[in-house]
């Protein structure tokens, strides 16, 4: 019994399974995951603390419920070690192998890890799964000051959430301002002010060089000579698509697993979507691209080849102290930003040389209200 195999039960894996089942209720379907296979909404990980949520309360459906809903076999706590594209089989770490007619790689992305000097470096946490969140929540018990490495999108969300839970947060990073890779300076500074007003401290244009254990906590040494003491250290310096399995199997890999608009990799019958995939040159590690890709791939797997389209998909940054909505501009786009102060925030628009809107960064309650009207003016991504 071969059928369709989906590797990964994150938002990408489960949503493509649901879409497949809308059109095809008979093909045998197996999902494999190295975690517990519970269905949850990953973006909740960076605003769950303030809401007092535990890892258990973030679970929306158990693996058993998902297996029933999808009429699928779900192999949880199962790690795939290799992929044989010719024999069309996945080899598990246990030594077992599973054959497939169609395979979907939905293996996500891993947090980028950096090796620092010092005996505390190994204790630095990252949060990219329910299990990570459970550990993070346990570690924060009794801790009143947290050092957070990385002032990007996920770092700012965690900073706001940890601060909202009543703890002091020290954010460290080499950028001149938060969200430095996504928004123009005025927008980043407006977010920084909003977060500072809620008690968060930024240490920018510097990096951590060493993390030592000290008493019950840690001492972080910064390149600018400062020292920060904290009871816990969280790193949020970015995610990297998980491409090792695909690469070892000889599939084309660039920044992500390379797929065309039908989400087909360089091997026939093997597809990829979600954080691991590079769709026509675009690596977009967000929920909305998955919600566009899953219905298209569900149809394709059911025998009706369907290309994915990406409309403009702005990202809402979950920083309630100073909300932000950003539609990032491609690094090679030609044009310029115009910036206007609106209320306590900023409305920054990026127009090309012909005056066409290509992207925006809206910060603060008043400016973010405009995001839907502006999104309608943006060109599609794919
Ligand atoms: C803290 C945080 C906050 C976020 N907030 C937002 C937000 O507000 N808005 C937004 O749009 N996006 C947000 N994102 C991004 C969004 O959550 C992701 O784009 C999305 O969840 C990725 O889903 P995925 O299914 O591709 O990957 P994942 O959820 O990472 O799933 C990967 C799956 O593959 C499995 N797997 C991997 N390798 C193997 C293997 N070798 N063997 C077996 N199983 C394997 C894993 O067990 C897992 O089931 C956030 C991300 C994080 C981490």
**CB atoms inside a 10 Å sphere around CB 231:** 19
Q: Indicate the top mutation candidate among 7, 8, 41, 97 to test ligand 1's pocket, ranked by most ligand atoms within 8 A of CB.
A: 8
Could you please report the per-residue DSSP string of 111-159?
Answer: E---PPBSTTGGG-B---SHHHHHHHHHHHTT--EEEEE--SHHHHHHH
Q: Could you tell me if the CB of 58 is within 6 A of ligand 1?
A: no
Could you give the CA distance from residue 323 to residue 194 in angstroms, rounded to a whole number?
9
What average pLDDT does this structure show over 294-322? Answer: 98
pLDDT of 4 strictly over 80 = yes
Structure confidence at residue 257 (pLDDT): 98
Q: Look up residue 59 and give its two tokens.
A: 């679970």
Q: Could you tell me if the CB of 275 is within 6 A of ligand 1?
A: yes
pLDDT, tens only, 235-283 = 999 999 999 999 999 999 999 999 999 999 999 999 999 999 999 999 9
What average pLDDT does this structure show over 326-342? Answer: 95
* Residue length of the chain: 382
Structural domains in the chain? 4-110+239-301 (3.50.50.60), 113-235 (3.50.50.60), 323-375 (3.30.390.120)
pLDDT, tens only, 148-201 = 999 999 999 999 999 999 999 999 999 999 999 999 999 999 999 999 999 999
Cβ pair 211, 103 in contact under 8 A: no
pLDDT, tens only, 94-143 = 999 999 999 999 999 999 989 999 999 999 999 999 999 999 999 999 99
Report how far apart, in Å, the C-alpha atoms of 272 and of each of 61, 263, 283, 315 are: 24, 6, 12, 22
C-alpha 164 – ligand 1 centre gap (Å) = 24
Rounded to 5 degrees, φ, ψ at 112 are -70, 130
For 315, the enclosing helix (H) or strand (E) is: strand 315-317
Reported as a pLDDT band with limits 50, 70 and 90, residue 2 is confident
Reported as a pLDDT band with limits 50, 70 and 90, residue 1 is low
**CB atoms inside a 10 Å sphere around CB 313:** 18
Angle between helices 185-197 and 153-164 (to 10 degrees): 20
């Amino acid at each position: 019994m071969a059928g369709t195999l989906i590797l990964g039960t994150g938002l990408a894996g489960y949503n493509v399974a649901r879409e497949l089942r809308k059109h095809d209720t008979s093909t045998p379907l197996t999902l494999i995951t190295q975690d517990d296979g519970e269905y949850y909404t990953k973006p909740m990980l960076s605003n769950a603390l303030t809401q007092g949520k535990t890892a258990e309360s973030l679970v929306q459906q158990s693996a058993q419920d998902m297996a029933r809903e999808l009429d699928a076999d779900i192999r949880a706590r199962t790690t795939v070690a290799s992929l044989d594209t010719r024999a069309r089989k996945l080899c598990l770490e246990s030594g077992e192998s599973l054959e497939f007619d169609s395979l979907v790689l939905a293996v996500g992305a891993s947090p980028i890890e950096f090796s620092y000097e010092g005996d505390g470096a190994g204790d630095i946490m990252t949060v990219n799964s329910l299990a990570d969140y459970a550990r993070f929540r346990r570690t924060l018990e009794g801790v009143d000051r947290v050092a957070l490495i990385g002032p990007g999108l996920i770092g700012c969300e965690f900073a706001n959430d940890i601060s909202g839970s009543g703890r002091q947060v020290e954010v460290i990073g080499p950028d001149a301002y938060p969200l430095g890779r996504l928004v123009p300076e005025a927008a980043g500074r407006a977010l920084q002010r909003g977060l500072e007003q809620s008690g968060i401290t930024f240490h920018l244009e510097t990096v951590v060089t060493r993390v030592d254990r000290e008493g019950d906590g840690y001492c972080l040494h910064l390149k600018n000579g400062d020292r920060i003491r904290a009871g816990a250290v969280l790193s949020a310096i970015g995610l990297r698509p998980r491409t090792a399995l695909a690469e070892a199997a000889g599939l084309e890999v660039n920044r992500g697993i390379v797929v065309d608009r039908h989400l087909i990799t360089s091997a026939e019958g093997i597809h990829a979507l979600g954080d691991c995939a590079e769709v026509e040159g675009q690596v977009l590690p967000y929920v909305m691209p998955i919600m566009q890709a899953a219905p298209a791939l569900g149809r394709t797997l059911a025998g009706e080849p369907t290309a994915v389209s990406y409309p403009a998909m702005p990202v809402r940054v979950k920083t309630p102290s100073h909300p932000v909505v950003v539609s990032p501009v491609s690094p090679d786009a030609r044009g310029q930003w115009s910036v206007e102060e609106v209320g306590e925030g900023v409305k920054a628009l990026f127009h090309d040389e012909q005056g066409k809107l290509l992207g925006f960064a809206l910060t603060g309650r008043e400016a973010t209200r405009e995001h839907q009207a502006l999104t309608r003016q943006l060109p599609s991504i794919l």
